[in-house]
Amino acid sequence: MEIDNTKHVSLILDKKLDGYNTDMNNFTAPGEVTVTITLKEYRTLVSNDATRSQAIDAANKDKYDREQKIRDLTAANDKLKGENYDLKTMIDSLKEQIAELTGKDVADA
């Protein structure tokens, strides 16, 4: 009896420790604790997994879209900052020209 018990324990341990061998996952070792579920429960589990996968895919797409929008807005912001700098430089240059032509300092507006 003890030899059979040791053999069963050995089978269970081999199965548990060899996680990459798919053949070991296709049987129930003698004495191994198992759970039986109905087909409906199995379908619910598979459906939940599929739904979760779809939700993850949707979240990833939303994340990508938001990141793209952030990149676009950052580029637009940088462009507007450059235009703003150019306009301020042009205004300062025009003020200097006016001051030279009129001989008066133009007040900062």
Per-block mean pLDDT, blocks of 10 residues, the chain (109 long):
66 64 62 85 91 92 97 97 97 92 72
For 80, 89, 90, 92, the CA distances from 99, given in Å and listed in that order, are 28, 15, 14, 11
Residue closest to 91 by CA, chosen among 74, 105, 108, 69: 108
For 3, 16, 26, 90, the CA distances from 8, given in Å and listed in that order, are 9, 12, 16, 88
Amino acid 2: pLDDT? 56
For 7, 10, 22, 26, 74, the CA distances from 17, given in Å and listed in that order, are 15, 10, 12, 14, 51
| Residue tagged 């379908």 (tokens) | 43
Residue 19 to residue 9: CA distance in whole angstroms: 16
Amino acid 19: pLDDT? 58
Amino acid 77: pLDDT? 98
Amino acid 56: pLDDT? 94
Amino acid 3: pLDDT? 61
